[in-house]
């Protein structure tokens, strides 16, 4: 069992038998996006969907400053003048630890639209989102290299999910800290060889620094999960262990999924592999991948195989740059777009119009 989660069988599950995983990852950084491609969330429409309520912004200290003396007081001071029945909440600066989620949970009782702007640390503590909030829309920006643990995502309880500028997020399995710990145990047992770099200053012990590449650990576990190579069960967090996939007969509420930039298509692939009961019910899908930062963990042919199986999809918004390695993928992408959609908005690179398939694209989507 991978991460203590149950993988349900469904119309998407047979795809996982193919070779859809990358053989390896060659990135040393935890943050897969480069600073040159960073953007402000203001460049993407994140306005509150509730026209009867204005959006309230709260600044949090985050997990790394929760021991400071003024931690609680600063948040309580902000909350003093904010109505308890606020519908639209925007959390900035960092992601709340347990103590801040507890204060927010006690103060707000009717949050329907939640935005988490995770800030410089790019962490994710979604397991703390209060279960009693009637969330309809969840927006997350900048979070990297973590696993979702909230039932609002894993069980499709939220109607709309937006991921902006995120990278390396996962939808099942161990947390990043658990992966690090398991790797450390394997090194201690002699099952794995540690990797080191040597710096120029300090004592001999200080100059030798161990390197642990998180993307490699993730790929290793994905291959064990999906390629049939099983290992001893990894330790899992209590939150993950209790959040099993919904049975197929239970309806997922998620109708709209938007993943904007960085590894957008790769994230969609990982979500479809882990949560097919959620993905196959989508009515609207918006994917934007234009910065050539995609496909770190899965292969592009998985996306081509997944698209035509979204039988309930009505609206597809797809923006891609030169992100596909296979030169035939983009020219032939039109054949994978679900036949039942009623709205298609597509934006691609200029190279597409020079393709021999361009006339076929035009004919396929011409009005009749």
Total tally of structural domains belonging to the chain: 1
Characterize 163-198 residue by residue with b for buried, 16 or more Cβ atoms within 10 angstroms of its Cβ, and e for exposed: bbbbbbbbbbbbbbebbeebbeeeeeeeeeeeeeee
User: Residue 163 belongs to what domain range?
Assistant: 13-49+112-175+234-364
Identify whether 277 is part of a domain. yes
pTM of the complete model: 0.83
Identify whether 168 is part of a domain. yes
pLDDT in tens, the chain (368 residues): 222 222 222 334 333 434 565 554 333 223 333 333 444 444 454 556 555 567 899 999 988 877 666 778 899 999 999 999 999 999 999 999 999 999 999 999 999 999 999 988 899 999 999 999 999 999 999 999 999 999 999 999 999 999 999 999 999 989 989 999 999 999 999 999 988 888 777 776 767 888 888 888 888 888 887 764 333 333 343 444 444 444 555 679 999 999 999 999 999 999 999 999 899 999 999 999 999 889 988 889 999 999 999 999 999 999 999 999 999 999 999 999 998 899 999 999 988 988 899 899 888 887 64
Specify the pLDDT at position 123. 92
Identify whether 6 is part of a domain. no
Specify the pLDDT at position 215. 86
Specify the pLDDT at position 35. 35
CB atoms within 10 A of CB 151: 19
Identify whether 313 is part of a domain. yes
Identify whether 202 is part of a domain. no
Identify whether 131 is part of a domain. yes
CB atoms within 10 A of CB 260: 21
Identify whether 227 is part of a domain. no
Identify whether 88 is part of a domain. no
- For the four alpha carbons of 130, 133, 135 and 140, in that order, the dihedral sign comes to negative
């Amino acid at each position: 069992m991978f991460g203590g989660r149950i993988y349900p069988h469904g119309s998407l599950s047979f795809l996982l038998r193919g070779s859809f995983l990358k053989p390896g990852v060659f990135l040393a950084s935890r943050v897969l996006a480069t600073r040159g491609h960073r953007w402000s969330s203001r460049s993407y429409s994140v306005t509150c969907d509730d026209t009867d309520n204005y959006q309230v912004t709260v600044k949090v200290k985050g997990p790394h400053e929760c021991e400071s003396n003024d931690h609680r007081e600063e948040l309580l001071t902000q909350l003093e003048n904010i109505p308890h029945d606020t519908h639209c909440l925007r959390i900035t600066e960092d992601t709340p630890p347990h103590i801040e989620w507890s204060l927010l949970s006690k103060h707000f009782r009717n949050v329907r639209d939640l935005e988490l702007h995770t800030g410089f640390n790019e962490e994710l503590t979604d397991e703390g989102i209060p279960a009693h909030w009637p969330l309809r829309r969840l927006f997350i920006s900048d979070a990297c290299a973590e696993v979702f643990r909230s039932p609002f995502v894993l069980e499709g309880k939220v109607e709309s999910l937006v991921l902006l500028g995120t990278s390396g997020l996962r939808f099942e399995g161990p947390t990043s800290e658990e992966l690090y710990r398991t790797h450390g145990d394997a090194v201690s047992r002699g099952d794995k060889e540690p990797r080191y770099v040597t710096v120029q200053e300090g004592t001999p012990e200080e100059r030798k620094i161990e390197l642990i590449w998180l993307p490699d650990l993730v790929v290793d576990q994905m291959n064990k999960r999906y390629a049939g190579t099983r290992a001893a069960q990894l330790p899992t967090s209590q939150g993950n262990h209790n959040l099993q996939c919904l049975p197929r007969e239970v309806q997922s509420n998620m109708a709209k999924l938007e993943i904007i930039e960085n590894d957008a298509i790769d994230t969609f692939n990982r979500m479809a592999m882990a949560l097919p009961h959620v993905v196959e019910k989508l009515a609207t899908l918006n994917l934007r991948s234009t910065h050539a930062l995609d496909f770190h963990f899965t292969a592009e042919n998985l996306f081509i195989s997944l698209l035509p199986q979204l039988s309930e999809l009505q609206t597809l918004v797809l923006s891609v740059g030169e992100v596909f390695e296979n030169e035939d993928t983009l020219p032939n992408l039109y054949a994978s777009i679900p036949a039942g959609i009623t709205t298609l908005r597509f934006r691609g690179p200029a190279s597409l119009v020079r393709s021999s398939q361009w006339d076929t694209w035009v004919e396929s989507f011409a009005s009749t």
